[in-house]
Amino acid sequence: MVVLKDRIQELETQMNTMRDELENKHLEGDVASLREKYQRDFESLKATCERGFAAMEETHHKVIEDLQRQHQREISKLMEERERLLAEETAATIAAIEAMKNAHKEELEKTQRSQLSGLNSDIDELRLQYEEELQSIQRELEVLSEQYSQKCLENAHLAQALEAERQALRQCQRENQELNAHNQELNNRLSAEITRMRSCFSGETALSPLTQGKDVYELEVLLRIKESEIQYLKQEIHSLKDELQSALRDKKYATDKYKDIYTELSIVKAKADCDISKLKEKLLIATEALGERTVDGTVTSGYDIMKSKSNPDFIKKEQSTSSKQLRGVRSKSLKEGLTVQERMKLFEAKDSKKI
């Protein structure tokens, strides 16, 4: 195509040159015939060029069609080759993936078996450790329960002793009030006797000396008896005051002991509750590790307080104090007064001491 175009351009250039020569040349001759000749040559050349151009174009189209068919065949072959290679690569990839999947599955199963065996050993070790800790905590709970029961028993005994002390204190207070009333009565009687004696000394001068001496003697005896009763009453009051002070001291000691035991019981109970809470937490953790759903928790019950036979040492002191407060009844002569014979014996004993 390019060659034909160049040839046409060359012919056109020659024709233009010839035209210029014809125009520039003013030779004689037949210009019209020459022009016709040139025109015929030009037409023949043009027809030849057109035929050559058409043949060339047809040949070019055939070559292009052949190239297109060859290119299409090569493309088809390449597509077939690509499909074949892609299928082979896909099959190889699938086989490799299956192999990797099988290897991964085997490795995963192996790892799971090793982990399961390790987990079983860990669970066994954890179960043994849990059982040991559970037994230890149960022993501690038994000891704490025994201590708590003993403290409760001591508290009960102490409460009984404290109640006995209170009863003894009330008894001493009643006896003290009775003795004070009796002492007031004796003081009133003594004042009346002294008044009567004074009236006898001042108003009975007309009596005989023998009768007057007898009355004076009886009054002296009565006075000494009253003095003796007053001394006995003072001693009894002093003894009751001492016993009252002792009872108050024992009461204070029992109250302090009761407070100490109550504090100890509170501490022991709090510790036992804390240990029970820790035990429940450990039990829950162990059951979760073992995969159990529910476990019935049991706690060791403490000793029965009423069935315990423990007897603390300080109870003996409380019992001795109670027996001391509840000893024999007071002397009848100090509450109801002395008889006549007892008064005479007392007076004779004092006279013999004076002699």
State whether 93 and 206 are in the same domain.
no
* Mean local confidence (pLDDT), 132-156: 83
Note whether residue 108 is domain-resident.
no
Note whether residue 189 is domain-resident.
yes
> By C-alpha distance, which of 161, 156, 160 is closest to 310?
156
Note whether residue 109 is domain-resident.
no
Which position has the higher pLDDT, 231 or 341? 231
> By C-alpha distance, which of 187, 197, 203 is closest to 217?
197
> By C-alpha distance, which of 233, 225, 289 is closest to 281?
289
Q: What is the mean pLDDT of the chain?
A: 72
Among 82-91, 190-199, 231-240, 299-308, top mean pLDDT goes to 82-91
Q: Any idea what DSSP says for residue 302? A: P
* Mean local confidence (pLDDT), 112-125: 79
- As a whole number of angstroms, the distance between CA 206 and CA 226 comes to 28
State whether 140 and 214 are in the same domain.
yes
- As a whole number of angstroms, the distance between CA 43 and CA 24 comes to 23
* Mean local confidence (pLDDT), 49-63: 84
C-alpha angle 124-139-291 in degrees, rounded to nearest 5: 30
Burial 174-213 (b: 16+ CB within 10 A, else e): ebbeebeebbeebeeebeeeeeebeeeeeeeeeeeeeeee
Q: In this predicted structure, what is the pLDDT of residue 30?
A: 58
**With 50 as the cut, is the pLDDT of residue 324 above it?**
no
Q: In this predicted structure, what is the pLDDT of residue 94?
A: 92
State whether 220 and 299 are in the same domain.
yes
Q: In this predicted structure, what is the pLDDT of residue 146?
A: 85
- As a whole number of angstroms, the distance between CA 216 and CA 213 comes to 5
Separation in Å, CA 72 to CA 57, 82, 85, 128: 22, 15, 19, 81
pLDDT-wise least confident of 15-29, 81-95, 262-276, 340-354: 340-354
State whether 170 and 304 are in the same domain.
yes
Domain finish residue from 102, 137, 165: 102
pLDDT-wise least confident of 29-33, 88-92, 125-129: 29-33
State whether 94 and 185 are in the same domain.
no
**With 60 as the cut, is the pLDDT of residue 300 above it?**
no
State whether 246 and 207 are in the same domain.
yes
DSSP, residue by residue, 314-337: HHHHHHHHHHHHT-PPPPHHHHH-
Question: Residue 24: pLDDT band by 50, 70, 90 thresholds?
Answer: low
* Mean local confidence (pLDDT), 329-341: 42
Here the tokens at position 266 are 């509170």
- As a whole number of angstroms, the distance between CA 182 and CA 19 comes to 186
Let me know: does 161 contact 315? Beta carbons within 8 Å. Answer: yes
State whether 133 and 245 are in the same domain.
yes
Here the tokens at position 114 are 């090793």
Separation in Å, CA 14 to CA 9, 145, 287: 9, 137, 114
Which position has the higher pLDDT, 264 or 329? 264
Q: In this predicted structure, what is the pLDDT of residue 195?
A: 78
Note whether residue 25 is domain-resident.
yes
At 243-292, the pLDDT tens digits run 888 878 887 887 887 788 778 778 877 887 887 887 778 778 877 777 65
- As a whole number of angstroms, the distance between CA 85 and CA 157 comes to 102
Q: In this predicted structure, what is the pLDDT of residue 328?
A: 41
Residue-number span of the structural domain to which 78 is assigned: 2-102
Domain finish residue from 67, 102, 137: 102
pLDDT-wise least confident of 55-59, 169-173, 274-278, 328-332: 328-332
* Mean local confidence (pLDDT), 55-62: 86
Domain finish residue from 49, 72, 102: 102
State whether 77 and 123 are in the same domain.
no
State whether 122 and 262 are in the same domain.
yes
Number of compact structural domains in the chain: 2
State whether 37 and 157 are in the same domain.
no
* Helix (H/G/I), strand (E/B), else coil: 227: helix
Q: Is 337 left (phi over 0), alpha (psi -120 to 50) or beta?
A: left
* Mean local confidence (pLDDT), 164-191: 80
- As a whole number of angstroms, the distance between CA 284 and CA 190 comes to 86
